[in-house]
Amino acid sequence: MLVCASGLNAIAESSWAQPKVPSGRFPIRKVCLMPAETEMDKLGVKTTEKMTKESDDWAVALRVLIEAHLKTVGIGFDSATDPAASGASDNDIQQAIDQIQEKYNALSGELNKKPRAIGKGAYTLGDQVAMLPCAATSDVLVFIRGEGVIPTPGRAGMAALAGGILEQGAIVTIAFADAKTGEILAMIRFRNVGDFLGQNQEDAFSAPLDAGLADINLGSARKLERAREFSTPAQR
CA 75 to CA 203: how far, in whole Å?
21
pTM of the model: 0.85
Residue 166 has pLDDT above 60, yes or no: no
All domains of the chain in start order, with CATH? 13-219 (3.30.160)
In 152-230 the beta strands, taken as DSSP E runs, fall at 169-178, 184-193
CA 165 to CA 96: how far, in whole Å?
43
Ranges of H-type helices in 170-220: 201-215
| Residue 200 confidence (pLDDT) | 80
| Residue 155 confidence (pLDDT) | 58
Residue 169 to residues 41, 108, 188, Cα–Cα distance (Å): 10, 20, 17
What are the tens digits of pLDDT across the range 63-74? 999 999 999 999
**DSSP secondary structure code for residue 34 in this structure:** P
**Of 8-12, 104-108, 166-170, minimum mean pLDDT range:** 8-12
| Residue 236 confidence (pLDDT) | 47
CA 49 to CA 83: how far, in whole Å?
36
Task: Work out the end-to-end distance of the chain between its first and last CA atoms, rounded to an integer number of angstroms.
Answer: 35
Section 30-55 average pLDDT: 86
**Of 23-32, 116-125, 149-158, 173-182, minimum mean pLDDT range:** 149-158
CA 89 to CA 115: how far, in whole Å?
36
